[in-house]
Amino acid sequence: MYAGIVGPGEGATDAECAIAYEAGRLLARAGAVVVTGGLGGVMAAASQGAFEHGGMTVGLLPGSRREGANPYLKVSIPTGLGEMRNALLVRSCGGVIAVGGSWGTASEIALACRTGVPVFAIGGWEFPAEGPIRMDSVESAVRRLLAAA
């Protein structure tokens, strides 16, 4: 099972990173492959949580080199696609957990909702349409994602 974890990079808060780390940990325990955009903030925390608990971590990097990749990726793909790689991330996952809000995160949530990939959101932006399912806890978000896949 491939699970995306999306959220802010540089602007991520400590609380968001803690949630992302826990999501990565729980998904790794469940045997899921954790896919992120491969950079810092929520992406790094999610990867770290999975990596430190034996999980498989994949980073789909925006650049055409591996610079800036976080050190918790077992596989990194320098896509050279820029922000277009957000669509590649969504496409490769059976579900996405969104932690916090940013325009990059919003693009991933929107692409997922557009293409029928379930999104479970912890905090972050409110959208004026049905789509992302808001969750109160990371445990329930992971449980719902695993059930959806």
32's CB contacts (< 8 A; 6+ apart) are 1, 2, 3, 55, 146, 149
Tokens of 105: 């995160």
User: How remote is the C-alpha of 4 from its chain's centroid?
Assistant: 4
Cβ-based nearer residue to a copy of itself, 56 or 143: 56
Residues in a beta bridge with 119: 96
71 binds a copy of itself (CB under 8 A): no
Please answer whether residues 105 and 122 qualify as being in contact, where contact means their C-beta atoms are separated by less than 8 angstroms.
no
114 binds a copy of itself (CB under 8 A): yes
What 8-state DSSP symbol labels residue 84?
G
Using CB under 8 A, pick the residue from 1, 18, 30, 110 that binds a copy of itself: 110
60 binds a copy of itself (CB under 8 A): yes
d(CA 14, CA 112): 25
Using CB under 8 A, pick the residue from 14, 128, 136, 147 that binds a copy of itself: 128
111 binds a copy of itself (CB under 8 A): yes
What 8-state DSSP symbol labels residue 130?
S
11's CB contacts (< 8 A; 6+ apart) are 41, 102
Q: Of 22-30, 37-45, 124-132, 136-144, which segment contacts a copy of itself by CB under 8 A?
A: 124-132
31 binds a copy of itself (CB under 8 A): no
47 binds a copy of itself (CB under 8 A): no
Using CB under 8 A, pick the residue from 4, 101, 135, 141 that binds a copy of itself: 101
List residues near a copy of itself by CB under 8 A. Answer: 33, 56, 58, 60, 64, 74-75, 77-84, 86-88, 91-92, 101-104, 106-107, 110-111, 113-115, 125-129, 131
